[in-house]
Amino acid sequence: MDDIDAMFSDLLGEMDLLTQSLGQETVPPASLPSTNDNVNLSTSYTDLNASLNELEDTDLDALMADLMADLNESEEKLAAQIEDLKGPSPPPSDLPPPPPKGPSIRPASSLPSPTSPASSTSSNVSTSSAASPLPPPPPQATKPTKEEIEAQMKADKIKLALEKLKEAKVKKLVVKVLMNDGSAKTLMVDERQTVREVLDNMFEKTHCDCNVDWSLCETNPELQLERAFEDHENLVEPLLAWTRDSENQVLFQERGEKYEVFKNPQNFYLWKKDKRALKEIKDKDKELLIQENFCGTSIIVPDLEGVMHLKEDGKKSWKTRLFQLRASGIYYVPKGKTKSSRDLVCFVQFDNLNVYYGKDFKNKYKAPTDFCFFLKHPQIQKESQYIKYLCCDDAWAMNLWVTGIRIAKYGASLYENYKTAEKKAAVSSVWTNRSTPSSSNPSTPSPTIKAKSPNQANGHAQEPQPRPVSTDFGHVPPPPPPLADFLPPPPPDPFRPPPPPPLAVKSSLKPALPHRHLPTNFPPPPPAMDNLPPPPLPPKDDAPPDFLPPPPPAAGFGSLFPPPPPLNSLPLPPPPVSFRGVDQSLPPPPLDAGFLPPPQPMFTGAGAPPPPPPPPPPAAAPKPALRPSGSVKKMPPVPPKRTTPSMHGGGDGDFMSELALAMNKKRGLH
């Protein structure tokens, strides 16, 4: 046993080093220009320096500034944590209700703590808590035996080690995103981030109106293509397919066609009808169409049929064919055959293909019209016989086909994405509306406002916190209430928004953040929860936000959230469960944040498990597991951006030095 333990602590130590060198975990803040660079140590061929060299000096400076800011913050935090270390540990044991901790983290931390300070503040805390004999957690009825605890701790250690290993493999890219006005923002994107998360990030950076049309698009000048990434896709993966010398770009722009099918479903599902009639269609009928086609047991693809011009197999000529779209692929009617299903010949299926808009193909390929789209494997970056080009008679037909193909390929995800985007848009508009009043009148019950204003139109409660909801429709309803509860912690009355406006803002931010962690992080096994004392381990990520505004020390927690106990005590409706978990996890964060290079990672986040006493674990747990869709940052402009994002200071060291090196080199060259 001891050997194993020793081994693990070694392993953990190493891992920490590794993670540190990787650094920069996350996401939010950093945005810089750049091409795609693969920061990942292990995998990518691209080397960071090279990519950095390609950056404009100004971009570099900006990136640097961003990163430095993060670093500083994290250092401060770290310092704060260190101070706290001694102090805070005892409290956790005393406080029964406090934040449930990710069990796994604690034990793990206990081991490595000496070796790797970076590992996590929480670890330290946890150690202490572990030491305290009886964890006071109310929820757990059964007391784990010592063996169980040990076993659990060991399991947790293993898990932590593995997490770190995995973390070490996470790829990150510095992505330069071009704006409409020709300027550019640069972001650090990690391979686990979805396009939705990156978009949210961009919203924060740009103060745009956050409407659902905002998209990230890829362009490839060589193929003259354009494609808006779908919100659920991971951004890094397609970017990795770009060639080293590619002039591809990522654009941030509004694209009306992205969700047009949900705004005007009749244009897609009733396209055969007279166009004027389609314009006059009632909202009620639109809803019905969406209901019929996207909310049933099966997603229904518009039944498109039409003649298109095809160029394939690397040939130069265009030939016409009668095509049909079905859920299983695109088919064509062979010459001399009927249109009956059994005679159709499969043209493509969508498993390995994406659909792209082609630009100016009339010139390039002598296409009959400029309304072209094509299908190719995402990795193909140059002209190839494996690309299938299709040309429609008009823009209307082209949009029909491209959208139809997207529905067939992505199915329910598309609608989920739309709902998420819509919520996002609603929330942000709320925020903008609300920012004035809140400042002037602190007492305004922010929660209420939110609840009412935003998307009513759509019929859902808009949750103030956009993100939690993001994917899981089921989630939606529950979130709002919790928020409400959450905000006004001090007063017994849940609906009263006592907290001063600024606070409110922050708090709202936090919940969101944690939430995302929640899902991502391990859903701790119930037993684990029992074992663990309830020491407050803050999810690292969360920590920063809370943390920043207030003084770093633990105090922050207290001052900010005096109400935590009340929170618990409040009779919360069941749905909030997951939320609660969040809340609790929030308070403790201050310490940890600094330390770990908090990879957003799923694993590290301590907060996730909903240990909160009241909630029945099962309910809460499953959901997160289903969908980690977290959005990284969610909140709108209000919050101080800088602060939020940077949480990972610790790990940055190596990265920073690399960056500095690169800058020097580059400057040297000039």
| Binding positions for another protein, rule: CB under 8 A | 155, 158-159, 162-163, 165-166, 241, 243, 270, 272, 277, 285, 288, 292, 296-301, 303, 326-329, 331, 338-342, 344, 346, 349, 351-352, 377-382, 384-387, 522-526, 602-603, 617-619, 621-622, 624-626
**Cβ closer to another protein: 166 or 642?**
166
Q: Which residues of 175-209 are buried (b: 16+ CB within 10 A; e: fewer)?
A: bbbbeeeeebbbbbbbbbbbbbbbbbbbbbbbebe
- Residues with Cβ within 8 Å of residue 150, at least 6 apart in sequence: none
Least distance from C-beta 289 to another protein, angstroms?
A: 9
Nearer to another protein, 43 or 183 (CB): 43
Nearer to another protein, 182 or 459 (CB): 459
Distances (CA, A) of 622 to 428, 461, 477, 619: 28, 22, 16, 6
CB nearer to another protein: pick between 373 and 522: 522
**Of residues 390 and 426, the one with the C-beta less far from another protein:** 390
Nearer to another protein, 117 or 617 (CB): 617
**What's the closest the beta carbon of residue 328 comes to another protein, in angstroms?**
5
250's tokens? 């990522």
Q: Which is nearer to another protein, 229 or 522 (CB)?
A: 522
- Give the C-alpha distances (Å, rounded to integers) separating 421 from 196, 233, 293, 425: 8, 14, 19, 6
Least separation in angstroms between CB 525 and another protein: 6
**Shortest reach from residue 617's CB to another protein, in Å:** 7
Cα–Cα dist 452/462, whole Å: 8
Tokens describing residue 374:
């094509």
- Compute the chain's Rg from CA coordinates: 26
- Class of residue 358 by CB neighbours under 10 A (exposed 0-12, middle 13-18, buried 19+): buried
Q: Which two tokens stand for residue 381?
A: 């970056």
In this complex, which beta carbon is closest to another protein, that of residue 7 or of residue 346? 346
Give the nearest distance from C-beta 13 to another protein in angstroms: 18
Name the region of 563 (left: φ>0; alpha: ψ -120 to 50; beta: rest).
alpha
Q: Residue 424 CB, nearest distance to another protein (Å)?
A: 25
Coil, strand or helix at 430 = helix
CA pair distance 4, 88, nearest whole angstrom: 30
Contacts of 653 (CB under 8 A, 6+ apart): 20, 21, 23
- Least separation in angstroms between residue 599's CB and another protein is 13
| 346 vs 457 by CB, closer to another protein | 346
Q: What is the DSSP string of 277-325?
A: HHHT--HHHHHHHHHHHHSSSSPPPP--EEEEEEE-TT-S--EEEEEEE
Give least dist CB 229 to another protein, A.
Answer: 16
Q: Which is nearer to another protein, 136 or 378 (CB)?
A: 378
Amino acid identity of residue 54, one-letter, is E
State the DSSP H helix or E strand holding residue 139, giving kind and residue range, or none if neither.
Answer: none
Q: Which is nearer to another protein, 376 or 450 (CB)?
A: 376
In this structure, what token pair is assigned to residue 610? Answer: 């909903």
Question: Phi/psi at 33 (nearest 5 deg)?
Answer: -80, 150
| Least Cβ distance, residue 625 to another protein (angstroms) | 4
Comparison of 366 and 382: residue with beta carbon closer to another protein: 382
Is residue 484 a contact partner of residue 461, using CB atoms and an 8 Å limit? no
What are the backbone dihedrals phi and psi of residue 320, each rounded to the nearest 5 degrees, phi first? -100, 145
Q: In the complex, what is the shortest distance from the CB of residue 183 to another protein, in angstroms, rounded to a whole number?
A: 29
Closest distance of CB 130 from another protein, Å: 19
As a whole number of angstroms, the distance between CA 511 and CA 190 comes to 22
Name the minimum Å distance from CB 480 to another protein. 20
For 573, the enclosing helix (H) or strand (E) is none
Contacts of 670 (CB under 8 A, 6+ apart): none
Q: Please state the closest distance from residue 357 (CB atom) to another protein, in A.
A: 20
Is the separation of the CB atoms in 472 and 626 below 8 Å? yes
Task: Give, in order, the Cα–Cα distances in Å from 232 to each of 116, 227, 386, 561.
Answer: 35, 14, 26, 34
| Smaller CB separation from another protein, 543 or 621 | 621
